[in-house]
């Protein structure tokens, strides 16, 4: 049934379309002592621990009334329910775009993307959503409408509560509107794929771009089945499955792009790449989309963030260990400019998911890193916390939750530390 | 008063046990330099203590709790908003001895520093790796990275590269109970609430930062700086708009008006055209090809808008010369008047022209002299109100003019501060932007951090959670220019503008 979550089905679904409706809905739910889960496009709704209670879904997909784009200021303010692709289509008319990308932009909404600090391919060059949110309107659990920040690209006025709510997964309030700093669309874009049978070389080449004269818009090092699948999507057939692929998107003016492509191809070639190809737009899109599809199709998806070299080393160790123990070849996507790695696998049973998940987490926590299990069967959620340990800041986080949502209305138990 | 003195002397003795007597300042004549931070407002601290480790900071906080003393953390004191002025007889913890570069991880482009490190020193220390630290406030030769955290500092190059919060990965913080805790880490994102994001820009009211993990960036291959003189401010403003409309985000877009040109001439002898009413600096960086492409476009736009003279620099020496007037502008105002009040407001870039005209009108109405030097690219204006501090009436007029200017910024859809923070200066104006619910939501964060303040209990006042840097940010904590006869009634917000 729609809006079900971890085996719970809500007894009601509210669909506020205006601020006063949303405010009233929340006030009523909280005063009745009920619990609620804010719901955007649902693309990342599964991320989180099992709720301790789930009475009402607050579906914000109709909360779309406002989009204010100021091209001259390179800012936009949009309501929570607006989808990322709707917004980008509008911005593109003026030669601009959101600075961040998200997966499934046709369904992903502004509110959901902000609340879950949704990652995307371009994180290597432009960072996370948190870096581009300049202001926010939040409706607290008791219905109080509040705001922080502003709609100018630079503002230091009072506490930056919009950063606190970014990535809070709707546990401190419902994001009803967000203001973003924008970027111009680059005049040209070009995707290059290079592949290697030597993982060390692949890693070195990748890191040389990240620390070189230009940061690619997106740079993902792929391993495991996903590497060969992406090569297939890019119309390249590779005889071996033991391959590492570097998928790189470049952006800039005509002359700048030409130089970047030459450098990428030249460096990869000189380092002994098994092959490389400069992709046309259609093929490039299908290659990047292949990564998104892989994440949607996986039974188990874990995102780890650390220093880039730590993610690379962890990728090797974890893949080898899982392969030896379970004969399961997992895929990894390392976004080298950001220091994020997504580990993906399809498993034959829930038990196997739990075992593999345990093996992966055990390795991750040996390193200075953070993780979130983005996708897993229910038994994995039942066994522990899907977020990494927040250490001794847990008490402060609980106090913050208690300040903004004292009745524990919003997404109870779903956040890090089961907040 | 005798009780106060006895509390003080036992406090001094307890603090001395932690850091050594030579690092506790309490004689009235020695406290003078800690009374102000380059703004108009002043207050005397009870004592100043200079710890050398995070552990000492933690112990000092615990001691201050026992003595019921408020605490103000201080970097270099360059906020210009009264942010570091110690109200309520606070103990100042000066972090200027915590200057270590703890770690540089060049391959992962990360550094861990102590809060007293001077901003520019970090870029200098990692320069041989081909790296730099991006936020570059105009005061970067003196301001500290800890202070930058407090104010979420920007700088001329934050247009393209972002402000402090975009470059901080993690923070070690001493909380109100003296405990040490990490927010974030050395990775770009961490599980749980983004405490580092909430802490950066909180103006020292939530805790004291003792270690900072930051991102470093590779130095660009090429940099090209251009300086163009225009016969009108409008032509310069149009040039800025057209550069942005052309899809460029230059690494810097800085503007100076005629009064500033006059002020810098005797110091630097740049010899700008005598008919010039505005000087614009545009800097582009990146790959050589990209810099060439952008330079061509910028020059075309400048010429189309009637630039009378264009100077260019692509080597360090010429660039330093070209930037000299911009970087030295504030100091050069001394040739016009003994004191300046540097207002820090933000307007939507598209409203720059309109608001600058209003600034002129306000200056004329209140009979004050205003010179303008500002970050045109992000709409962050810095009208400098020039006056004589010895004439109380001039001071008062300067403060009132500042209030009117900020009101104009907010009315245009802008913000009260781009990089100096709220401090004492702007707290009375917070209601121009935020209503009671917004301010209350902010106060809840402080309550979560501070809880029931042991200081408030010790001195028997209702707890406002004002453990650190009391009387700041929120309205009602202090009155900007109180010493000059300004009262709360002097500011009458004429209306609020909701940016939503």
User: Is A16 in CB contact (< 8 Å) with chain B?
Assistant: no
Question: A365-401, pLDDT tens digit by residue?
Answer: 999 999 999 999 999 999 999 999 999 999 999 999 9
Chain A positions in Cβ-Cβ contact with residue B346 (cut-off 8 Å): 150, 152-155
Is A416 domain-assigned? Answer: no
pLDDT of residue A238: 81
pLDDT of residue B138: 86
Number of domains chain A contains: 3
Is A407 domain-assigned? Answer: no
Say if residue A338 is in the same domain as residue A196: no
End-to-end CA gap in chain B: 50
Residue A296 distance to chain B (closest CA, Å): 22
pLDDT of residue B4: 42
Say if residue A357 is in the same domain as residue A215: no
| Cβ separation A158–B448 shorter than 8 A | no
Question: A125-136, pLDDT tens digit by residue?
Answer: 999 999 999 999
User: Among residues A294, A312, A341, which one ends one of the domains?
Assistant: A294
Looking up residue A302, the CATH number of its domain turns out to be 3.30.70.600
What's the gap between Cα B150 and its chain centre?
A: 9
Say if residue A273 is in the same domain as residue A305: no
User: Among residues A279, A294, A309, which one ends one of the domains?
Assistant: A294
Q: Are A99 and A180 in contact (CB under 8 A)?
A: yes
Q: Are B98 and B55 in contact (CB under 8 A)?
A: no
| Cβ separation B413–A95 shorter than 8 A | no
User: Is B498 in CB contact (< 8 Å) with chain A?
Assistant: yes
Give the integer Cα–Cα distance in Å for B106 and B110: 6
Those of residues 172-201 in A touching chain B at CB distance below 8 A are 172, 177, 179, 183-185, 187
Task: Give the number of A-B residue pairs with CB atoms closer than 8 Å.
Answer: 275
Say if residue A11 is in the same domain as residue A40: yes
Name which of A35, A30, A43 is nearest A10 in CA terms: A35
Which domains, ranges and CATH numbers included, belong to chain B? Answer: 2-94 (3.30.43.10), 101-218 (3.30.465.10), 220-335 (3.30.70.2190)
Say if residue A176 is in the same domain as residue A52: yes
pLDDT of residue B455: 63
Tokens at B427, concatenated = 């707290």
Question: B282-308, pLDDT tens digit by residue?
Answer: 999 999 999 999 999 999 999 999 999
Looking up residue A37, the CATH number of its domain turns out to be 3.30.465.10
Is A417 domain-assigned? Answer: no
User: Is B413 in CB contact (< 8 Å) with chain A?
Assistant: yes
| Cβ separation A150–B346 shorter than 8 A | yes
User: Among residues A249, A275, A294, which one ends one of the domains?
Assistant: A294
Q: Are B469 and B205 in contact (CB under 8 A)?
A: yes
> Which segments in chain B show pLDDT lower than 50?
1-7
Q: At what angle do helices A199-210 and A254-270 cross, to 10 degrees?
A: 150
0.95 exceeded by the pTM? yes
Chain B positions in Cβ-Cβ contact with residue A70 (cut-off 8 Å): 348, 350
Chain A positions in Cβ-Cβ contact with residue B375 (cut-off 8 Å): 154
Sequential DSSP letters for B364-393: HHHT-EEEEEEETTTTEE-EEEEE-TT-HH
Q: Which of A72, A147, A387 sits opposite B350 (nearest CB)?
A: A72
Burial class from Cβ neighbours inside 10 Å (0-12, 13-18, 19+) for residue A20 reads: exposed
Q: Which of B110, B181, B348 sits opposite A73 (nearest CB)?
A: B348
pLDDT of residue A12: 97
Residue A215 distance to chain B (closest CA, Å): 9
Say if residue A339 is in the same domain as residue A265: no
Q: Are A234 and A193 in contact (CB under 8 A)?
A: yes
Q: Are strands B217-218 and B131-132 parallel, antiparallel or unpaired?
A: antiparallel
Domain that includes residue A378, residue range: 298-392
Those of residues 128-147 in B touching chain A at CB distance below 8 A are none
Those of residues 197-236 in A touching chain B at CB distance below 8 A are 207, 211-215
Question: A253-279, pLDDT tens digit by residue?
Answer: 999 999 999 999 999 999 999 999 999
Q: Which of A123, A339, A402 sits opposite B187 (nearest CB)?
A: A339
| Cβ separation B220–A212 shorter than 8 A | no
Is A397 domain-assigned? Answer: no
Say if residue A32 is in the same domain as residue A155: yes
Is A5 domain-assigned? Answer: yes
User: Is B244 in CB contact (< 8 Å) with chain A?
Assistant: yes
Is A413 domain-assigned? Answer: no
| Cβ separation B247–A185 shorter than 8 A | yes
Burial class from Cβ neighbours inside 10 Å (0-12, 13-18, 19+) for residue A283 reads: middle
| Cβ separation B166–A394 shorter than 8 A | no
Mean pLDDT of chain B: 92
Say if residue A50 is in the same domain as residue A174: yes
- A79, closest residue in chain B (CA to CA): B500
Say if residue A142 is in the same domain as residue A27: yes
User: Is A394 in CB contact (< 8 Å) with chain B?
Assistant: yes
Percent of chain A residues topping a pLDDT of 90: 96
pLDDT of residue B458: 66
Residue A387 distance to chain B (closest CA, Å): 6
Burial class from Cβ neighbours inside 10 Å (0-12, 13-18, 19+) for residue B1 reads: exposed
Question: B177-232, pLDDT tens digit by residue?
Answer: 999 999 999 999 999 999 999 999 999 999 999 999 999 999 999 999 999 999 99
Is A44 domain-assigned? Answer: yes
Give the integer Cα–Cα distance in Å for A290 and A241: 17
What ipTM did this prediction achieve?
Answer: 0.97
pLDDT band at A2 (very low <50, low <70, confident <90, very high): confident
User: Is B195 in CB contact (< 8 Å) with chain A?
Assistant: yes
Say if residue A149 is in the same domain as residue A181: yes
Say if residue A64 is in the same domain as residue A123: yes
Is A53 domain-assigned? Answer: yes
Q: Which of A207, A254, A399 sits opposite B448 (nearest CB)?
A: A399
Say if residue A134 is in the same domain as residue A164: yes
CA atoms within 13 A on the CB side of A223: 27
């Amino acid at each position: 049934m729609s809006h079900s979550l971890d085996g719970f089905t809500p007894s009601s679904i509210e669909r506020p379309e205006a601020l006063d409706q949303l405010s009233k809905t929340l006030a009523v739910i909280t005063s009745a002592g009920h619990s609620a889960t804010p719901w955007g496009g649902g693309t990342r709704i599964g991320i989180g621990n099992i709720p301790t209670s789930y009475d009402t879904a607050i579906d914000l997909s109709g909360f779309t009334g406002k989009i204010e784009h100021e091209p001259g200021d390179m800012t936009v303010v949009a309501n929570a329910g607006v989808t990322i692709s709707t917004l980008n289509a509008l911005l593109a008319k003026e030669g601009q775009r959101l600075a961040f990308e998200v997966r499934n932009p046709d369904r992903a909404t502004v509110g959901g993307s902000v609340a879950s600090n949704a990652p995307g391919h371009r994180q290597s060059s432009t960072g996370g959503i948190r870096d581009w949110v300049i202001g926010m309107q939040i409706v607290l659990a008791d219905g109080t409408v509040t705001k922080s920040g502003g709609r100018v690209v630079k503002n230091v006025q009072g506490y930056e509560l919009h950063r606190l709510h970014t990535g809070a997964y709707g546990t401190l309030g419902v994001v009803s509107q967000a203001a973003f700093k924008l970027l111009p669309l680059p005049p040209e874009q070009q995707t290059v794929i290079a592949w290697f049978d030597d993982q060390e070389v692949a890693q070195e080449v990748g890191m040389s771009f990240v620390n070189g004269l230009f940061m690619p818009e997106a740079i993902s090092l792929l391993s495991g089945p996903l590497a060969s699948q992406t090569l297939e999507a890019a119309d390249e057939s590779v005889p071996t499955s033991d391959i590492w692929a570097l998928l790189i998107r470049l952006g800039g003016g005509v002359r700048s792009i030409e130089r970047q492509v030459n450098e990428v191809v030249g460096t990869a070639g000189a380092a002994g790449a098994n092959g490389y190809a400069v992709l046309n737009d259609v093929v490039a899109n299908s290659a990047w989309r292949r990564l998104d599809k892989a994440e949607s199709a996986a039974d188990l998806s874990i995102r780890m963030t650390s220093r880039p070299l730590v993610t690379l080393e962890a990728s090797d160790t974890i893949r080898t260990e899982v392969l030896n123990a379970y004969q399961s070849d997992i895929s990894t996507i390392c976004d080298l400019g950001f220091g994020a790695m997504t580990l993906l696998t399809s498993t034959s049973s829930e038990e196997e998911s739990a075992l593999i998940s345990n093996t992966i987490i055990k390795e991750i926590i040996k390193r200075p890193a953070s993780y979130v299990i983005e996708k897993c069967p229910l038994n994995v959620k039942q066994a522990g916390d899907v977020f990494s340990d927040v250490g001794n800041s847990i008490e402060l986080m609980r106090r913050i939750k208690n300040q903004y949502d004292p009745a524990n209305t919003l997404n109870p138990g779903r956040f890090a530390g089961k907040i | 008063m005798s009780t106060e003195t006895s509390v003080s002397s036992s406090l001094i003795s307890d603090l001395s046990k932690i850091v050594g007597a030579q690092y506790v300042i309490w004689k009235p004549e020695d406290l003078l330099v800690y009374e102000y931070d380059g703004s108009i407002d002043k207050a005397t601290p009870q004592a100043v203590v200079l710890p050398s480790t995070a552990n000492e900071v933690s112990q000092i906080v615990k001691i201050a709790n026992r003595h019921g003393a408020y605490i103000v953390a201080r970097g270099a004191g360059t906020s210009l908003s009264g942010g570091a002025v110690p109200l309520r007889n606070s103990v100042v913890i000066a972090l200027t001895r915590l200057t270590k570069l703890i770690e540089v991880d060049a391959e992962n482009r990360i550094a861990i520093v102590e809060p007293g490190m001077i901003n520019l020193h970090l870029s200098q220390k990692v320069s041989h790796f081909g790296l730099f630290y991006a936020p570059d406030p105009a005061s970067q030769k003196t301001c500290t990275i800890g202070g930058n955290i407090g104010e979420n500092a920007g700088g001329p190059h934050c247009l393209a590269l972002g402000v402090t919060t975009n470059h901080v990965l993690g923070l070690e913080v001493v909380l109100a109970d003296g405990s040490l805790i990490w927010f974030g880490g050395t990775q770009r994102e961490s599980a749980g609430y983004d405490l580092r994001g909430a802490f950066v820009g909180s103006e020292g009211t939530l805790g004291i930062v003792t270690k900072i993990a930051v991102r470093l960036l590779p130095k660009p291959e090429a940099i090209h700086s251009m300086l163009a003189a225009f016969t009108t401010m409008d032509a310069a403003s149009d040039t800025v708009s057209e550069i942005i409309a052309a899809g460029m985000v230059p690494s810097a877009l800085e503007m100076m008006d005629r009064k500033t040109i006059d002020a810098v001439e005797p110091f630097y002898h740049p010899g700008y055209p005598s008919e010039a009413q505005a000087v614009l600096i545009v800097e582009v960086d990146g790959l050589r090809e990209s810099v060439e492409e952008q330079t061509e476009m910028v020059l075309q736009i400048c010429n189309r808008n009637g630039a009378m003279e264009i100077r260019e620099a692509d080597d360090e020496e010429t660039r330093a010369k070209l930037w000299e007037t911009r970087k030295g502008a504030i100091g050069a105002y001394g040739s016009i008047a003994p004191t300046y009040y540097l207002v820090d407001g933000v307007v939507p870039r598209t409203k720059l022209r309109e608001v600058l005209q209003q600034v002129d009108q306000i200056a004329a109405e209140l009979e004050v002299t205003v010179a303008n030097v500002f970050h045109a690219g992000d709409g962050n204006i810095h009208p400098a109100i020039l006056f004589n501090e010895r004439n109380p009436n001039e001071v008062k007029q300067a403060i009132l003019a500042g209030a009117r200017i900020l009101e104009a910024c907010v009315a245009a859809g802008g913000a009260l501060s781009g990089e100096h923070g709220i401090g004492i200066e702007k707290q009375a104006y917070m209601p121009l932007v935020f209503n009671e619910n917004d301010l209350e939501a902010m106060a809840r964060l402080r309550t979560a951090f501070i809880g029931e303040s042991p200081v408030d209990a010790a001195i028997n006042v209702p707890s406002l959670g004002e453990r650190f840097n009391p009387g700041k940010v929120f309205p009602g904590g202090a009155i900007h220019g109180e010493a000059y006869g300004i009262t709360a009634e002097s500011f009458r917000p004429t209306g609020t503008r909701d940016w939503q």
